[in-house]
Amino acid sequence: MTRISWEQALDELSERLDAVDCSEHPERALGPFEPPAVAEPLPEALRSRVEALIARSDALAGRLQDELDDVRAELRRLPRVPRQPGRSRFEVDA
């Protein structure tokens, strides 16, 4: 595993937050998060930047949860189509 600097790790985290926050390109999928491999403990000089990234991440997570709750509420308001016993149809186009 290659070690990276804290500055590079924080830049990558900021870019991930930008990608998630960017509503213009929702098709841009991100891979799973992997914690960065940093060589040394976090320097005190970067503490405020880390705290800002944490606050931004928490705000984004809250906003996404609100959007998810809104979608769930809208889906609950949609009329339900009654099931017809014995009639199922499933098609897949590949």
- The confidence score (pLDDT) of residue 34 equals 86
pLDDT in tens, 54-75: 999 999 999 989 999 999 999 9
* Residue of 88, 63, 43, 75 lying closest to 10 (CA atoms): 43
Query: How many CA atoms within 13 Å lie on the side-chain side of 86?
Result: 0
Domain residue spans in the chain? 6-77
**pTM of the predicted protein model:** 0.69
Instruction: Find the mean pLDDT for residues 69-91.
Output: 82
pLDDT in tens, 4-45: 999 999 999 998 898 888 765 555 667 888 888 997 899 999
Q: 30 near 21, Cβ under 8 Å?
A: no
Taking a C-beta distance cutoff of 8 angstroms, is the pair 13, 33 a contact?
no
